[in-house]
């Protein structure tokens, strides 16, 4: 399949977020990373109650306020105005990172630059020295949650693969990623390597291998990504 044809099979950002949202269990405590993962909250199936954590000391975080109604101190990790749901709570930073590092979150959904075949995560720094480094809560989110899910495009904007044998960018954490959701596939990190569970409609195994540097295994019952 040509690159252009393959591009036509990619899920939209909203569809990617919807796919992850389907896997968030009812009643779970979830942290959504900044950027693409933040969109997941907009696509949770009706009837499911998810308790969102924000690193700056919020559990039970709600959607953005009506225009003009916001509390200027009440922001999320991406520095956007948010609200607190009934039952929500505030706490200080040290407690908030206890929640993250201490294994109290059920799911952390993170963006990434690169993920390796063994679940190494690179999502905080590139090799570009023009910018000062910044890490924020990325390393704490990667090491602590019971399940670490990565939501990212399958390839970078220049077309280079992001699923690699070994990450070339500086590591956030080693052996932490449980599952990767891309615009072309859903893959589990297993002891044997990356196992494709779902693949975009119309793509062959070789098509996916063509845009992936890491070796791929394919599930016996491969589902169509939607």
Partner 1 sequence: MLDKRVASVADAVAGVQDGAVVLIGGFGSSGIPIELTHALLEQGARDLTLVTNNAGSGETDVAALLRERRVRKIICSYPRSKGSTWFEELYRAREIELELVPQGTLSERMRAAGAGLGGFFTPTGADSNLAHGKEVRVIGGRRHVFEHPLPGDVALVKGDRADRWGNVVYHSAARNFGPTMCTAAALTLVQVRQVVELGELDPEAVVTPGVFVDRVVEVRP
Could you say whether residue 66 binds partner 1 (CB under 8 A)?
A: no
State which residue, 143 or 184, has the beta carbon closest to partner 1. Answer: 143
State the nearest-atom distance from the C-beta of 117 to partner 1, in Å: 16
Could you say whether residue 85 binds partner 1 (CB under 8 A)?
A: no
| Cβ 108 vs Cβ 144: under 8 Å | yes
Q: Which of 35, 51, 90, 195 binds partner 1 (CB under 8 A)?
A: 90
State which residue, 34 or 217, has the beta carbon closest to partner 1. Answer: 34
The single-letter DSSP state of residue 171 is: P
* 55 a catalytic residue: yes
- CA dist 63 and 197 (Å) reads 31
State the nearest-atom distance from the C-beta of 107 to partner 1, in Å: 18
Pick the stretch among 73-81, 177-185, 194-202, 215-223 that binds partner 1 (CB under 8 A): 73-81
State the nearest-atom distance from the C-beta of 25 to partner 1, in Å: 24
- CA dist 70 and 73 (Å) reads 9
State the nearest-atom distance from the C-beta of 175 to partner 1, in Å: 8
| Cβ 51 vs Cβ 59: under 8 Å | yes
In the region spanning residues 157 to 186, those forming contacts with partner 1, defined by CB under 8 A, are 170-174
| Cβ 79 vs Cβ 91: under 8 Å | no
Could you say whether residue 195 binds partner 1 (CB under 8 A)?
A: no
State which residue, 1 or 81, has the beta carbon closest to partner 1. Answer: 81
- CA dist 198 and 35 (Å) reads 23
Could you say whether residue 138 binds partner 1 (CB under 8 A)?
A: yes
State which residue, 170 or 193, has the beta carbon closest to partner 1. Answer: 170
Instruction: Give me the DSSP letters along 59-91.
Output: EEEE-PPPTT---TT-B-TTS-B-EEEEEEEE-
Burial of 9 (0-12, 13-18, 19+ CB in 10 A): middle
- CA dist 54 and 60 (Å) reads 9
Question: Site residues (CB under 8 A) for partner 1?
Answer: 54-58, 71-75, 79, 84, 90-94, 96-97, 100-101, 120, 124, 131-140, 143-144, 170-174
Positions marked catalytic = 55
């Amino acid at each position: 399949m040509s690159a252009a044809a393959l591009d036509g099979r990619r899920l939209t950002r909203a569809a990617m977020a919807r796919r992850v949202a389907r896997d968030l269990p009812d009643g779970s405590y979830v942290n959504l990373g900044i950027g693409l993962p933040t969109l997941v909250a907009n696509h949770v199936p009706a009837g499911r109650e998810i308790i969102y954590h924000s690193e700056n000391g919020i559990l039970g975080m709600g959607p953005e306020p009506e225009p003009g109604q916001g509390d200027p101190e009440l922001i999320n990790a991406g520095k956007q105005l948010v609200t607190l749901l009934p039952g929500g709570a505030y706490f200080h930073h040290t407690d908030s990172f206890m929640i993250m590092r201490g294994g109290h979150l059920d799911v952390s959904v993170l963006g990434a630059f690169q993920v390796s075949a063994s679940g190494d995560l690179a999502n905080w720094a590139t090799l570009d020295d023009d910018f000062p480094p910044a890490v924020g809560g990325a390393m704490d989110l990667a090491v602590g949650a019971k399940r670490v899910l990565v939501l990212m495009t399958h390839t970078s904007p220049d077309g280079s693969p992001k699923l690699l044998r070994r990450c070339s960018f500086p590591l956030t954490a080693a052996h932490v990623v449980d599952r990767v959701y891309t615009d072309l596939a859903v893959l589990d990190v297993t002891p044997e390597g990356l196992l494709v569970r779902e693949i975009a409609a119309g793509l062959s195994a070789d098509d996916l291998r063509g845009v992936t540097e890491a070796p791929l295994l394919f599930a016996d019952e491969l589902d169509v990504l939607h």
